[in-house]
Chains A and B, each alone.
Chain A
Amino acid sequence: MSQNFPEQQRYSTLLHWGSRSGLALLVASFAAYVTGLLPAHIPLEQLPQVWSLPSGQFIQQTGAPTGWGWLGRIGEGDYAAMLGIAWLSGCSLLPLLAVIPVYLSRRDRIFAAICAVEIAILLLAASGILAAH
């Protein structure tokens, strides 16, 4: 076994569960969308007419939400499928948060700070503040 650290084990365990549950959520919500179990905001038959548009025009034409607006439409299949995508994009946050105490207990303040700044960057990206401009 190669050299390993307790923080790697902790990160690995949390990432494992985060990514597996995200993938399961992604497939389940997409299945509900394409089978019609959940109603779609943009009817599936109309997608070929709009998927070649730039994202800005697509939003104008379909009234699709930006930012976290999709969360308010989670009952619609197209946005329910976004839940798995958002989960996968955010599942590194918890492992990063969980290794900070391990670094602090070793007085490894630099790596604790690196993790904290990485969390801040991910939260900033997720917040939509930067994309709004």
Chain B
Amino acid sequence: MLNDLVSRLQNLSGLLRANALLLVVSFSLFTAGAYAADSLPAESEMAWWVLPLALFFVCFLMGIVAVPSGVGGGVLFVPIVGGFFPFHLDFVRAAGLLVALASALSAGPMLLRGGLANLRLALPMALLASASSIAGAIMGLALPAATVQVALGITILGIVVLMLSAKKSEFPDVQRPDRLSAALSMNGIYHDGATGKNMPWQVHRTPLALLLFVGIGFLAGMFGMGAGWANVPVLNLLMGAPLKVSAGTSSFILSLVDSSAAWVYINKGAVLAVIAVPSVVGMMLGAMIGARLLHVLRASVVRRLVIFLLLFAGLRALLKGLGIWM
């Protein structure tokens, strides 16, 4: 009885420490953003390394919350950095794509080896999404920054609604595959670690999903965001792939979609190493910490925090684009 009580107290203490850390992370993200937006001296008076260093820390914090919340860092990066740092949105979007790309490339090999990313499910979707991401990137760079900010704000607020309303299904029941997915053999067997069972899966509604991936690729290229927030619901809820296969395959799809769009930004001269590299390294280091905290933090708490951050950043992007909150 006493042992049980001590064990419960230890668990509670671990949980409190983790949640306190989370509170510090969220508070730091807010204050760092607000400080960068309002309080820093004119850029010309500042040492060149101050903002890249601040960017590294903000990305590190974003990386910590990105993994436990189940969203990629890319979706947090563009609205937060674009809203609160003085870098032009062109450079921020390019860096956002590279952040999402580096994360997807790092996770890709392990996901493929473990069978959580499925090439047969991913390749047809990635093909259309990567083609449309090029068009999105070209259009994003051609439009005025204020227009892109407004569209970004609206998209981020849409993502908030999606995150609040979308349900998840661990193993959706797909009675019959559609003709296209059957012809392409888009199916597999997933080993469920919890039950120890091999679960065969198949997908349906493939033509509609392909159409949606054209739109997802376009948004990813235009706003420089990873598109896991859209990939996973389409693969899981629409097509009926198991949740973990959807998440793994989504990450792999990003590695191809973001590569195509990143080349457009590189060729247009919109990649600044001094913005992109601290972002990539900070986010990846933060994600390592986030992955370690995965078992300690309450996913629902982190998810609520991320929704709140996105809501704030989305409103900021919208108001900045409209010239209301500069």
- A interface residues, Cβ below 8 angstroms from B: 1-5, 7-9, 11-13, 15-16, 18-19, 22-23, 26-27, 30, 33-34, 44-49, 51-55, 58-59, 64-68, 70, 78, 81-82, 84-86, 88-92, 99, 110-111, 114-115, 117-118, 121-122, 124-126, 128, 130-132
Contact = CB atoms under 8 A, between A and B. Distances in A.
A131 B268 contact: yes
Q: Lowest 10 CB-CB distances: which A-B pairs, in order? A: A2-B115, A81-B273, A19-B105, A16-B109, A131-B267, A3-B189, A125-B263, A48-B43, A128-B267, A12-B112
Contacts of B267: 66-68, 126, 128, 131-132
B62 to A, nearest CB: 18
Majority SS at the chain A contact face: helix
Interface of B: 43-44, 46, 48-49, 51, 86-88, 90-91, 98, 101-102, 105-106, 108-110, 112-120, 123-124, 126-127, 130-131, 134, 138, 141, 145, 183-184, 188-191, 198, 255-256, 259-264, 266-277, 280-281, 284
B260 A26 contact: no
A7 B259 contact: no
Contacts of B108: 12, 15, 19
A125 B264 contact: yes
A78 B109 CA distance: 30
A114 B105 contact: no
Given A12-B109, A30-B273, A110-B184, A90 B264 contact: no
Nearest to B126: A118
A82 B112 contact: no
Contact of A55 (B86, B119, B270): B270
